[in-house]
Amino acid sequence: MTNYRIDCLQYANWSEKIFCQMRKGDLDAVHVTIAYHETFRETVLNIEQWNRWFEQFPHLIFHGSTGADVKLARQSGRTAIFFGFQNPSPIEDDIGLVQVLHQLGARFMQLTYNNQSLLATGCYEDYDAGLTRMGRKVVDEMNRVGMVVDMSHSGEKSTLDAIEHSKRPIAITHANPHSWHPALRNKSKTVMKELAQTGGMLGFSIYPHHLKDGSNCTLESFCQMVAEAVEVMGIDSIGIGTDLCQDQPDSVVEWMRIGRWTKNIDYGEGSALDAGFPPMPNWYQDSRDFSNIDNGLVLLGMSKEERSKIMGNNWLRFYDDSFGAIK
């Protein structure tokens, strides 16, 4: 059995250095966020930037679109890059853009980023009304073409609605159990159970605001949280989505939080005293530290097969099942 390694969420200030670190961390695939608040045209500009990186660094990375590309990445010693959006802004008000963006390689789309969108309610709104009329139609279209519904930043009811309405398993690419660290972004046991029962996936995040004790969270505590999630969800529905925001200036976290929706500052998960990107835990500075997670799980007594599933094989199975058109 091959042990694949997949990081199912990064939003780094990518560079040749970071691509080399992906290789040093033996990452076969990375799901990269290419839009937060971007319009369609702005998203296409970001795709153009990625096309240039693929042309410049073909020995390090290539554009992945299927599960088979993860295997190709392993065989050829490169990292397959999969595109995703943390907001549905790239499709604007136009359901036809779902297929167009799938043709351009998008494989994940969050229905919301913290706020209400045209499709669903974000986790920071006061009231969550669930999937909207357009939201249901867009989920159907995402199901048809093979784009994964990602509810990482959505409210509880919207998330449960999406799980129920979607004909294909959905994902929460980067979040942790609310019981371990009660951040608004972390997920309830109800969501975790429904997700697992429908074949969905949860990727554990290492973004400090999602961690118990924040930047000081220990590897032991993180791995204990993973083990407890196995009790709730089973071993087949979990993976890693580090939410690594490496080398980003703090102006970027401000853009992530306020986009163009407010003229005022909003600190999101941070605060006025802690407004910037929080420092990552010392055991996860960049992709070269990916194996530290595996090492931590060894110390908990997890078997090689269990660790392989968490470190990438579950995501690979999910990629294989999720990215093609419905037959």
Please select the residue that binds a copy of itself; options are 1, 48, 127, 273, rule is CB under 8 A.
48
CB contact at 8 A, 301 and 215:
no
- In the bound state with a copy of itself, the residue whose beta carbon lies nearer, of 6 and 97, is 97
Contacts with a copy of itself: how many residues (CB under 8 A)? 16
Closest CA to 208 of 270, 266, 149: 270
Under rule CB under 8 A, residue 97 binds a copy of itself: yes
- In the bound state with a copy of itself, the residue whose beta carbon lies nearer, of 47 and 233, is 47
Closest CA to 29 of 230, 222, 287: 287
Under rule CB under 8 A, residue 109 binds a copy of itself: no
Alpha helices in the chain (DSSP H): 16-24, 40-56, 67-76, 96-103, 133-145, 156-165, 189-197, 219-233, 250-258, 290-299, 304-308, 314-322
14-22, 103-111, 259-267, 294-302 -> range binding a copy of itself (CB under 8 A): 103-111
Please select the residue that binds a copy of itself; options are 34, 104, 106, 238, rule is CB under 8 A.
104
Rounded Cα gap, residues 243 and 278, in angstroms: 12
End-to-end CA distance of the chain: 28
Closest CA to 166 of 148, 139, 190, 188: 139
Is residue 284 exposed (0-12), middle (13-18) or buried (19+ Cβ within 10 Å)? buried
CB of 157 to a copy of itself, least distance (A): 31
41-49, 71-79, 108-116, 160-168 -> range binding a copy of itself (CB under 8 A): 41-49
46-54, 130-138, 275-283, 304-312 -> range binding a copy of itself (CB under 8 A): 46-54
42-50, 80-88, 185-193, 245-253 -> range binding a copy of itself (CB under 8 A): 42-50
| Binding positions for a copy of itself, rule: CB under 8 A | 40-41, 44-45, 47-48, 51-52, 94, 96-97, 99-100, 103-105
